[in-house]
């Protein structure tokens, strides 16, 4: 077998049941164009012993001598891949075996067109399979420091290895919970990135029902703040700005990235916050509670927005007045949008109350 076009890289820890199921599905595809790399973070559940009967030359299993943590394990895992492209998956994730050949054909096209990195999206676009962003400003603004779960991220192996200090990004969480998006920032300056519009790597469907299972990783963490909380969103914005300013790129590129991420962050902590908190996957998995009192929830969302705006304002006014002006404008626009949502919400509540009152009479 020559060099495969794809290395499907799977990080695992203490989940051999779902891991074995995932491997069986992937290896059911008869093709020498991909290999499967598993890196176990020193599990004690006999992960290797329980999957070693999967005899397949495309499967390679590595195990860390000690537990290095999930983020650092990702870096070690990707280093083991030999394919032209490296695709990351969690052991609990899914990849559609029927659509894997399609992914391989897309990656062959990407290789010919020098695409350095990509992201599999669960969004299906009937009109196109992928969108390629030009190297430089277009890719930089689209991909730099944009928080996404790592499942479905793809790196060109040669470009991955060209980042000599890449291991630093995955150690001690100095670059937050999304260090790979910082690598995308580095690569995008001189390389193209892409989205793959298909559910080949369906990250919305997981093999573990998190509405019933508490997060062991979260329970061990000292910092109990989750990604959609304003303090975390603010922290990531500040980290991203300091990092991007160290790169040799025009300041207006950086302004575009920060303002786009601020817009997304403010929407997360205000407009979408109650939705995130109320999802069973979060209420159970992280032990969160959402109030049934809508007034309390709306008040919380307003405070979230004020927190994020205040800290962003005082941080960026030390560095860039143009960013301050833009985040003020973004804040006004989103607060107005949020107010309209709350207004409609209360109209529904009042109408519902009046209807119930009439029925009781």
Question: What are the residue boundaries of the structural domains of the chain, listed by start?
Answer: 6-197, 216-360
Read off the pLDDT band of 204 (50, 70, 90). low
Residue 158 and residue 116 in contact, taking contact as beta carbons nearer than 8 Å: no
Read off the pLDDT band of 52 (50, 70, 90). confident
* pLDDT for 29: 94
How is the beta sheet containing 85-90 ordered, strand by strand?
59-63, 34-40, 6-12, 85-90, 153-156, 115-121, 192-197, 130-133
Instruction: Tell me which of 46-55, 169-178, 283-292 is least confident.
Output: 283-292
Considering only residues 233 and 293, tell me which one the structure prediction assigns the higher pLDDT.
Answer: 233
CA distances from 154 to 8, 34, 105, 150, 336 (A): 9, 14, 14, 9, 37
* pLDDT for 285: 76
Read off the pLDDT band of 354 (50, 70, 90). low
Considering only residues 97 and 133, tell me which one the structure prediction assigns the higher pLDDT.
Answer: 133
pTM score: 0.90
Mean per-residue pLDDT of the chain: 89
| Most confidently predicted of 49-58, 179-188, 225-234 | 179-188
Percent of the chain past pLDDT 70, that is, above it, reads: 93
Read off the pLDDT band of 228 (50, 70, 90). confident
- Over residues 151-175, mean pLDDT: 91
CATH of 6-197, one of 3.10.270.10, 3.40.50.970, 3.40.250.10, 3.90.550.10: 3.90.550.10
Contacts 24+ apart (CB under 8 A), 251-258: 251/320, 253/137, 253/140, 253/141, 255/320, 255/322, 255/323, 255/326, 256/137, 256/141, 257/140, 257/141, 257/144, 257/145, 257/185, 258/316, 258/323
Asked whether the predicted pLDDT for residue 335 surpasses 90, the reply is: yes
Short-list 332, 176, 341, 202, CA closest to 272: 341
* pLDDT for 353: 62
* pLDDT for 217: 65
- How far apart are the C-alpha atoms of 128 and 197, rounded to whole Å? 7
Instruction: Provide the token pair at 10.
Output: 């799977």
| Most confidently predicted of 44-48, 66-70, 198-202, 305-309 | 305-309
Read off the pLDDT band of 130 (50, 70, 90). very high
Asked whether the predicted pLDDT for residue 175 surpasses 70, the reply is: yes
């Amino acid at each position: 077998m020559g060099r495969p076009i794809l290395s499907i890289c799977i990080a695992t820890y203490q989940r051999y049941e779902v891991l074995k199921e995932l491997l069986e599905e992937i290896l059911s595809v008869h093709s020498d164009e991909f290999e499967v790399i598993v890196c176990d973070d020193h599990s004690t559940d006999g992960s290797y012993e329980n999957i070693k009967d999967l005899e397949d030359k495309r499967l390679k299993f590595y195990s860390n001598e000690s537990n290095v943590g999930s983020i650092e394990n990702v870096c070690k895992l990707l280093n083991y891949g030999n394919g032209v492209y490296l695709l990351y998956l969690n052991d609990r994730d899914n990849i559609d075996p029927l659509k894997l050949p399609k992914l391989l054909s897309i990656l062959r096209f990407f290789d010919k067109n020098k695409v350095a990195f990509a992201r599999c999206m669960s969004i299906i676009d009937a009109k196109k399979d992928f969108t390629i962003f030009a190297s430089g400003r277009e890719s930089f603004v689209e991909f730099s420091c944009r928080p996404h779960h790592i499942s479905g991220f793809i790196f060109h192996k040669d470009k991955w290895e060209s980042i000599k200090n890449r291991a630093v990004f995955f150690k001690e969480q100095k670059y937050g919970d999304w260090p790979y998006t910082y690598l995308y920032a580095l690569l995008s300056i001189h390389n193209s990135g892409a989205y793959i519009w298909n559910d080949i790597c369906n990250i919305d469907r997981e093999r573990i029902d998190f509405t019933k299972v508490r997060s062991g990783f979260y329970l061990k963490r000292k910092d109990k703040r989750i990604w959609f909380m304003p303090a975390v969103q603010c922290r990531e914005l500040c980290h991203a700005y300091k990092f991007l300013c160290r790169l040799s790129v025009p300041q207006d590129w950086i302004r575009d990235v920060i303002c786009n991420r601020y817009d997304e962050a403010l929407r997360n902590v205000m407009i979408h916050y109650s939705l995130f908190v109320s999802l069973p996957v979060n209420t159970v998995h992280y032990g969160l509670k959402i109030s049934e009192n809508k007034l309390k929830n709306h008040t919380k969302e307003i405070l979230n927005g004020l927190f994020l705006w205040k800290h962003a304002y005082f941080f960026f006014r030390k560095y860039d007045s143009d960013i301050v002006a833009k985040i003020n404008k973004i804040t006004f626009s989103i607060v107005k949008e949020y107010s309209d949502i709350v207004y409609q919400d209360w109209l529904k509540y009042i109408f519902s109350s009046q209807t119930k009152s009439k029925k009781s009479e």
